[in-house]
Chains A and B, each alone.
Chain A
């Protein structure tokens, strides 16, 4: 083939260039172009609705966000969680469509729509093709103005929220976050979190009223990004929201707690915890504070990622944790700084001391040039990737407008970041990261870490439920059994999933020479679970032995523990993500402590009454640790299962990996139903 002129030219060019040596080190950055933030337009409709349009006709797709000042801050006292519930329900039936019809409508055009709430704002987001804009906006307007809040959907949402809250009680990071927010903000709305009582108090009328009073055009921001012009956006909004009027929703008065003057530790006692979750932080400033740029850089060096000091020291050097990070959270009002680490119990104090050293150092020592430049280059370099699509651009502008940032914030952000010097970063860190006036929350086993923490700062102790505690409460409380109440019996349970039986459990108590023997066989084929448990007890119901064999997800498990002479000894092989893991078991057993598999069998020997709290010290063979469980009678209910209808105590068991609710008959106590929080399955008595 004859070479064309073009190829000849290229050969010539390439020849010249390739004659140079290949550079042996990476090239220096090319010049940064003038930071051009993509253009956008703004307008206000006659009804007060603010409009923002980021035009980009590259593809026939539009993304829309509609934001309201309707976040959790506006939940009435006693009904915290309302904004979250409203957001979840906006798209669960609206206009003339049921929840199913609504999701079918948006899926049918290949689009998506959903809503969420944060402490300050509620936002409905949607995506659809340009050709479906009228239809998509119709759905969005229905969600914003005409949600059905159908009773069945409200109750479903409430049940899901309650399960999630119950589950949170067993998750140390969620427990830590809850007490940290409360400790920082006190009675300020940013410090509140939903609880079961507040979620139960929310009525359908409350939800409707919240939508009517807070989802108003005035004060709201409607943002279009993509294949649309300002004129088209105006026309779409005017037609979809025709007739929508109303004054701006009321603001609420808020007060911050008095500034902290000394560092204090809040220890949340979680008996048997093998790790400690540490949060360290303080309140900072409003979103428009000029120190945010310097603070951003300082934080990148301190704990912004895998290349930062906290991670490199606590994880890479010391091996105390999988991760340690820090960050600033920005709100419409005052935000906060937080550094966090999740560490092994035995290195809790060393980790906290090191974390505090680093927190202090970032505000007192100027960052070395190379470290500073690497952090800056990562942050500045990242920005273009954060505004690549029109929806991302719209997101940045929306945040800036909602938070009330200066008009040119998005356009000047990158230059202002680039202009930060090590001295500016240090000064901002000094003001925004307060080693000597910090709140420290540690969720962990008080019995093992309290004394060591006291050497670092004054310690206040509370339970996972927020009740004040003293060190004398750390001793595990053993179960007080009524051995005389036990009778030989066989119970059969069905494992239920959405009304279908998917497995079974047979539990048998029998009298044997010198004591009792309990055998339990469980099979759930779908989950790949098969398990046989045998427990033996003395006549006085002291634990003697546990033997358990099973299969779970294709992996075999086997636990054998002998309880004698105040110790638990044996071995445990349990499934993990990377295959079965075997540990040797040898631990101290306080008097009255039982195997965790014995909790359910011994229910008949416990002293049940309205409002009773029954402590159970139980050994978890699979982990080799002793854990404090607590039964709390939370109500009385009639329960109907295959075996019949029973008058029961509703009982919550906390302390384990996930909380469990059980229903225990009032007469001759036995379990008739068991529901693990957050899982769609239950165990129900068949006979």
Chain B
């Protein structure tokens, strides 16, 4: 099964931040565009004999329209089902025989991406495979039905069958207006009715619109010869025709529209839980790093504030976490939420009071310099460690390009975190973590 989204692997326990790191050693990026609109970013790095091939399509759940939800993710499945010159299993098999072991894909609200790390003499294979499926897929009614079934199974396992999961996947969407911001207000996995209604022609038209060279960014990082790589890219991708620019996505979501409340019955949960969500600005916003660090201080790890107060001191909660945009970074408004699962015998109400108090009091009392330093160190070390792999660096370059205004921003991203002060933390808390900007979800166990 393909990864649904990189960030939701351990949904309740591990919070993943979305901004990727910056490297103090400057990364040189060779960026250009093919005549058909395919944007290319090359980073030459001969410290190993591998190349990461990372292809981002500018399509995700936010591009979907009412009646056609779930298509972006369904597509990620379809991309492994064979194309003109390849049978169903060949894509993965050819990569494995070339020595690759990490080939996969992921769907988020803003993007869908496909990646593999290969030994550098098989760069041609990895590029050929991506070009082959960008040229066209084998979409048959039978293959489509298979993958709709696979997605339904995935939904059952990940959403319907896990306690508290529906609150995160679907409950949180109520923070976004379904009329003015449809893209972020519907489920990433989509409506099963929409998927069942999907016809081969719908899939082909979605493919034609979004899986076009002018809607994709190809990033290569590693042991490559730029001239040779450019020639291969031109040879394999150059002949794929450009398509009309896909329709723009708009999201006109006001902040602080007034407090929202929701009660969700959950037949998989046995203990009540509370999710306190606050709208935050797009990932590119200057307040992003302070919000990421605040999420770490509040809700990540044994010594985080929520764990100390709610789980250890008052024993009100069995577990707590804070997540920022668990379904990937955004070019539109995002979410910051705390989640606490009540201990046996503790009411949702009393957990809610403690949870909301811990989150909102930062606006008055701030955080200590020591807390900020530790969060910054963990963040920085984590990101730097990650970038030792070509693929992670390729994703950081893609991230910078999509969310921070251009690939070069990969060289300055981490500085944004280094500059965050305790005053910034208090200010962003006061700006966003307030009751009239909140959606509070109470999750009530329900017996079948």
Contact = CB atoms under 8 A, between A and B. Distances in A.
Given A10-B234, A17-B234, A18-B239, 14 more contacts: A7-B35, A10-B34, A17-B235, A29-B98, A29-B124, A29-B125, A30-B123, A33-B121, A382-B119, A389-B389, A391-B388, A502-B344, A551-B447, A553-B163
A111 B390 contact: no
B97 A378 contact: yes
A36 B49 contact: yes
Contact of B271 (A6, A306, A526): A526
B50 A384 contact: yes
Contacts of B94: 26
Given A33-B49, A307-B93, A528-B163, A381 B385 contact: no
Contacts of A29: 98, 121-122, 124-125
A59 B101 contact: no
B115 to A, nearest CB: 13
B434 to A, nearest CB: 31
Contacts of A31: 121
A621 B238 CA distance: 64
A58 interface: yes
Contacts of A635: none
Contacts of B49: 33, 35-36, 384
Which has the most chain A C-beta neighbours within 10 Å: B122, B268, B303, B389? B122
A61 B131 contact: no
B56 to A, nearest CB: 21
Given A23-B128, A307-B93, A18 B234 contact: yes
Interface stretch (B180-188, B274-282, B373-381, B422-430): B373-381
B85 A24 contact: yes
Interface residues of A, number: 72
A233 B122 CA distance: 36
A59 B387 contact: yes
Interface string B320-356: 0000000000000000000000011000000000000
A26 B129 CA distance: 7
Contacts of A27: 124-125, 128
B236 interface: yes
B381 A61 contact: yes
Given A27-B125, A110-B379, A381-B122, A11 B135 contact: no
22 contacts: A13-B230, A14-B36, A17-B231, A17-B235, A24-B85, A27-B124, A29-B121, A58-B47, A108-B377, A110-B378, A110-B379, A128-B381, A377-B97, A381-B97, A384-B50, A388-B48, A388-B50, A389-B389, A526-B318, A551-B448, A554-B268, A579-B161
B170 interface: no
A381 B47 contact: no
Contact of A384 (B45, B99, B156, B236): B99
Interface in A223-273: none
Which has the most chain B C-beta neighbours within 10 Å: A15, A17, A500? A17
Nearest to B27: A58
A384 B120 contact: yes
Nearest to A6: B32
B384 A60 contact: yes
B139 to A, nearest CB: 19
A107 B378 contact: yes
A573 interface: no
A129 B381 contact: yes
Given A14-B234, A17-B234, A33 B120 contact: yes
Contacts of B32: 6, 10
A505 to B, nearest CB: 15
Interface in A358-384: 374, 377-384
B377 A110 contact: yes
A456 to B, nearest CB: 34
Contacts of B387: 59
A57 interface: yes
B270 to A, nearest CB: 4
Interface string A429-449: 000000000000000000000
A211 interface: no
Interface string B293-306: 00000000101000
Contact of B448 (A20, A374, A556): A556
Interface in A101-122: 104, 107-111
B408 interface: no
B177 interface: no
In this complex, the interface size class of chain B, counting residues with CB under 8 Å from chain A, is 35 or more
Interface string B14-51: 00000000011100000011111000000001011110
Contact of B119 (A7, A384, A502): A384
B388 A389 contact: yes
B360 interface: no
B157 interface: yes
Contacts of B447: 551
B86 to A, nearest CB: 8
A311 to B, nearest CB: 13
B117 interface: yes
B100 interface: yes
Interface in B204-240: 223, 230-231, 234-236, 238-239
A110 B381 contact: yes
Contacts of B270: 525-529, 554
B330 to A, nearest CB: 26
A390 B236 CA distance: 33
A526 B236 CA distance: 55
A578 interface: yes
Contacts of A59: 23-25, 384-385, 387-388
A128 B344 CA distance: 40
B409 to A, nearest CB: 18
A32 interface: yes
Interface in B148-204: 156-157, 161, 163
A57 B236 contact: no
A35 B390 CA distance: 19
B381 A307 contact: no
B315 interface: yes
A519 to B, nearest CB: 21
A527 B270 CA distance: 8
A415 B389 CA distance: 24
Nearest to B380: A110
Nearest to B51: A384
B382 interface: yes
Contact of B99 (A35, A61, A129, A377): A377
Contacts of B238: 14-15, 17-18
Interface in B87-139: 93-94, 96-101, 117-125, 128-129, 131-132, 135
A607 B178 CA distance: 70
Interface in A19-69: 20, 22-27, 29-33, 35-36, 38, 56-61
B101 A382 contact: yes
B250 to A, nearest CB: 26
A88 B121 CA distance: 42
Nearest to A501: B344
Nearest to A503: B344
A385 interface: yes
A61 B318 CA distance: 36
A127 interface: yes
